[in-house]
Structure 1
Amino acid sequence: MENNKDNCPACGGKTENKCCCCEKHKERSPKEYKDLLNRLKRIEGQVRGVEHMIEEDAYCTDVLVQVAAINAALNSFNKVLLGNHIRTCVAENIREGNDEVVDELVGVIQRLMK
């Protein structure tokens, strides 16, 4: 999708007033965007691999090992995304005097640690 500042990156709708689907967006650098998408595509491939293992009646522990690898990849994705979020969105909001972002961050970290 083309990156047009007048359109919502999630739905393509106009953002002049508020977007119909969400209010917050993050513009990512091309490097960050590519890294995150590559990680997700790798995870998607791992999930497809597990699906194939189930279809082929693979042994349970072999499947479980692959699922553990998927969980590790998702955790790694979350760490990268959270680090980027703290360095950009959170830091910027704090500089602008928006301390509510700290409560939001605490909530996100608590959900990630469940």
Structure 2
Amino acid sequence: MVDHISPTHRLDTVFHALSDATRRAMLQRLGREDQSVTALAEPFSISLAAASKHIKVLEGAGLIRREVRGRTHLCRIEAGPMREAMEWLNHYGRFWDARLDDLERALAEDETEKQEPTDDHS
């Protein structure tokens, strides 16, 4: 199957999926080991139906895969889509690092100017 989803839409779905604390916690659990839907729902005060909705959002973003084994739905993390999100975030991390470096240089120059003796012969 060919993926015809635009990179912008794909990034939007990843950030949407990661915007919810329950889904982030589910991903953390799946980062340790594959789990059934029932096991993923267990630590939260939510119904199995609500857990399933969260899982569908994660699946829609491509962050997890679900495999059906009989009556058990086993979920596995698929961290690949997070790479694009990390690249987007890293771009802005580099932006802010550069801005903070500029600020640090400006403050150091200002401090140097304050410490230089003035040539006042009045």
* TM-score bin (small chain): 0.3 to 0.5
Task: Identify the structure with the greater strand proportion.
Answer: 2
Larger radius of gyration: 2
